């Protein structure tokens, strides 16, 4: 049985290889095995892929090159087309930190949590390394992931990093006590300067999208306010009242105003002569009570500088951009 290869149209090139180990391949090191069955990639490449966490044997992630394969084992490789590097967190990304809570400004193009394609090169891995950096042999970090941002969504994201903070933070998110405000660049000019989208959303696996359904699904409420329209697009402030998967992307697409760069939800991939690498959605503000002290926290992440050329090309005023976009 040969490896099969699947690409996902309209997204970064993703590949999925799978194969059953034959008798002749029994006892080969996993890096040697991969080099033999997929010789178009170098052995050095496979070592990086293994370190990243993209290789699975019988459903379990394998990272050691010295691991041997056995006859009949199922080997799968998931490649997402992203760099095979660790994500390093520095002080400029940290919006708030104490022994209980860590709030970061997540860059776009980074998975929040491990995926079949990787453990290294995720925000989760970066947090583990950051919390362990220079801390000696102290308490092992315990990360509570109660918030998710899509790979191409940037901005404020909060994590509890001590067991005593997990429950409170989770309950705040579960009971919608945290105010989440986003900025989105969407196609066209909105008919109303403010409004809301309310529906039940469900994931439709056949089309790999979330959409509103008449029956079933989960209640979703999205409120919005137009900041400014220019150059055939609208900059919109969005309050995410509920937190369903792809909620903002689905609601604006169904309203006829898909997010710029959101190919999956019918958004344009190029605007004013400029390529858009992913959906232009930014987690701008997060207001919550500290999960241990109860202190009110209002945290904000400026827009990434990557947005600036496109916003300028659309004709947004320079003064407004200075207030929104990160400075060097």
Residues with catalytic function: 150
Angstrom distances, CA of residue 207 to CA of 5, 101, 186, 204, 314: 19, 37, 22, 6, 32
b/e sequence 101-134, b meaning 16+ C-beta within 10 Å: bbbbbbebbbbbebebbbbbbbbbbbbbebbeee
Short-list 10, 328, 326, CA closest to 183: 326
DSSP code of 23? G
Closest CA to 32 of 55, 52, 9: 55
Per DSSP, what are the bridge partners of residue 199? 220
Contact 60, 54 (CB under 8 A): no
């Amino acid at each position: 049985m040969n490896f099969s290869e699947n690409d996902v149209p309209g997204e970064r090139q993703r590949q999925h290889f799978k194969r059953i180990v034959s008798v002749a391949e029994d006892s080969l090191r996993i890096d040697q095995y991969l080099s033999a069955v997929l010789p178009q990639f170098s052995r050095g490449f496979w070592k990086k892929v293994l370190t990243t966490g993209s290789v699975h044997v019988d459903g379990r992630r394998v990272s050691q090159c010295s691991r041997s394969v056995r006859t009949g084992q199922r080997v799968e490789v998931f490649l997402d087309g992203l760099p095979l590097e660790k994500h390093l967190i520095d002080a400029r990304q940290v919006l708030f930190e104490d022994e209980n809570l860590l709030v970061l400004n997540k860059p776009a193009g980074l998975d929040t949590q491990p995926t079949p394609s990787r453990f290294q090169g995720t925000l989760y891995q970066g947090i583990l390394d950051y919390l362990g950096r220079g801390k000696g042999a102290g308490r092992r970090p315990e990360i509570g992931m109660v918030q998710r941002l899509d790979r191409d969504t940037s901005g404020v994201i909060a994590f509890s990093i001590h067991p005593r903070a997990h429950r409170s933070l989770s309950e705040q998110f579960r009971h919608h006590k945290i105010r989440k405000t986003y900025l989105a660049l969407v196609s066209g000019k909105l008919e109303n300067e403010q409004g809301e989208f309310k529906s039940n959303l469900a994931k439709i696996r056949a089309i790999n999208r979330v959409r509103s359904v008449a029956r079933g699904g989960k209640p979703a409420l999205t409120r919005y306010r137009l900041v400014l329209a220019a150059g055939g697009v609208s900059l919109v402030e969005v309050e995410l009242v509920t937190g369903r998967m792809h909620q903002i992307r689905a609601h604006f697409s169904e309203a006829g105003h898909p997010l710029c760069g959101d190919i999956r939800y019918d958004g344009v991939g190029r605007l004013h002569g400029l390529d858009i690498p992913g959906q232009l959605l930014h987690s701008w503000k997060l207001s919550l009570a500290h999960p241990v002290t109860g202190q009110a926290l209002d945290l904000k992440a400026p827009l990434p500088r990557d947005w600036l050329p496109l916003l300028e090309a659309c004709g947004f005023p320079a003064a407004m951009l200075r207030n929104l976009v990160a400075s060097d």
